[in-house]
Amino acid sequence: QSALTQPASVSGSPGQSITISCTGTSSDVGGYNYVSWYQQHPGKAPKLMIYEVSNRPSGVSNRFSGSKSGNTASLTISGLQAEDEADYYCSSYTSSSTPFVFGTGTWVSVL
Amino acid sequence: EVQVVESGGGLVQPGGSLRLSCAASGFTFSTYWMTWVRQAPGKGLEWVASIKEDGSEKSYVDSVMGRFTISRDNAKNSLFLRMDSLRAEDTAVYYCARNSYWGFDSWGQGTLVTVSS
């Protein structure tokens, strides 16, 4: 099972919106509404930001939103803030022998 | 407060063994699948293994199949990962995570495993 494909980096200015893509196949992202997104600051544990494509856990800012079209899922951060600078990973359930796969990760920089 | 705390990491020689532990609190441990995820230095996240609520189902990433064993003790709210025949490429921070909503909603701080001679 190959990792899901994400851009290595995305940047934006404070207040802007950015979108991170996560591309898989019909065996994972495209086949199930089980995509989740994680934020990881350097040296820290990952934090769940979005689950089941577009749902936010309690306590996560509504500036974070998720969507999916075909085999590609997306995470949008609106009103970009300095604290959003971190790595972001997508994950999906898969029908392969390994039930979960992560994306390659995207570093978000706030200019 | 939901909390998971890993322990047991350290330096081990290639071919050696190590047992990681994860202590859970703040939730009914026996009603959740649990998972180990690892992150090699400077690299991305990699799903390693998951175990069903009652321990009756387990799954592993191909690269650790036959070498790692995931287990749990619901009476002690604990998750384990037995790692045998360790290789340099197993060097990573290992995270314990609670499965929820087809993702992982609670993570520990991680424990570092270094495989080196």
Q: Burial of B9 by CB count in 10 Å (0-12 exposed, 13-18 middle, 19+ buried)?
A: middle
The residue in chain A having the minimum alpha-carbon distance to the alpha carbon of residue B51 is A99
C-beta atoms of B50 and A99 within 8 A = yes
What amino acid is encoded at A91 in this protein?
A: S
Q: How large is the average pLDDT for residues A61-79?
A: 97
Strands B92-100 vs B3-7: parallel, antiparallel or unpaired: unpaired
Q: Judge whether B113 and B90 are in contact, CB under 8 Å.
A: yes
Q: B30, B53 in Cβ contact below 8 A?
A: yes
Contact across the interface for A38 and B104, Cβ inside 8 Å: yes
Q: Which amino acid type is present at position A49?
A: M
pLDDT at A8: 97
pLDDT band at A3 (very low <50, low <70, confident <90, very high): very high
Average pLDDT for A4-21: 97
Q: Is the pLDDT assigned to residue A12 strictly greater than 80? A: yes
Question: pLDDT confidence of B90, banded at 50, 70, 90?
Answer: very high
pLDDT mean over A86-108: 95
- Measured distance CA(B40)–CA(B6) in Å, rounded: 16
**pLDDT higher than 90, residue A2:** no
Confidence at residue A1, expressed as pLDDT on a 0 to 100 scale = 73
Average pLDDT over residues A33-46: 97
Q: Return the C-alpha torsion angle A5, A8, A13, A15, nearest 10.
A: 30
Q: What is the DSSP string of chain B?
A: --EEEEE--EEE-TT--EEEEEEEESS-GGGS-EEEEEE-TTS-EEEEEEE-TTSS-EEE-GGGTTTEEEEEEGGGTEEEEEE-S--GGG-EEEEEEEEETTEEEEE---EEEEE--
Stretch B34-47: mean pLDDT, rounded? 97
Chain B positions contacting chain A at CB under 8 Å are 35, 37, 44-47, 50, 59-62, 95, 100-110
A69 vs B49: CA distance, rounded Å = 28
Residues of chain A contacting B106 with CB distance shorter than 8 Å? 48
Q: What is the mean pLDDT of residues B73-85?
A: 98
Mean pLDDT value across chain A: 96
Q: State which residue of chain A sits closest to B59, comparing Cα positions.
A: A98
Beta carbons of B44 and A105 less than 8 Å apart? yes
Of B95, B101, B103, the CB nearest to A45: B95
Compute how many other C-beta atoms are within 10 angstroms of the C-beta atom of residue B108: 22
pLDDT value for A22: 98
What share of chain B in percent tops pLDDT 90?
Answer: 98
Find the mean pLDDT for residues B70-99.
Answer: 98
Contacts of B37 in chain A (CB under 8 A): 46, 102
Contact A111, A11 (CB under 8 A): yes
Determine the residue among A9, A22, A48, A58 to mutate to test chain B binding: the one whose Cβ has the most chain B Cβ atoms within 10 Å.
A48
Helix (H) / strand (E) element for A91: namely strand A86-93
Which among A23, A32, A12 has a CA at the least distance from the CA of A78? A12
Distance between start and end Cα atoms, chain A: 35
Least CB-CB distance to A34: which of B61, B95, B102? Answer: B102
Distance from CA of B107 to the nearest CA of A (A): 6
Q: In what order do the strands lie in the sheet with B68-73?
A: B3-7, B18-25, B78-83, B68-73
CA distance A67 to A90: 12
Q: How far is A107 from chain B (nearest CA, A)?
A: 11
Taking all residues of chain B, what is their mean pLDDT, rounded to a whole number? 97
A32-36, B15-19, B101-105: which has the minimum mean pLDDT? B101-105
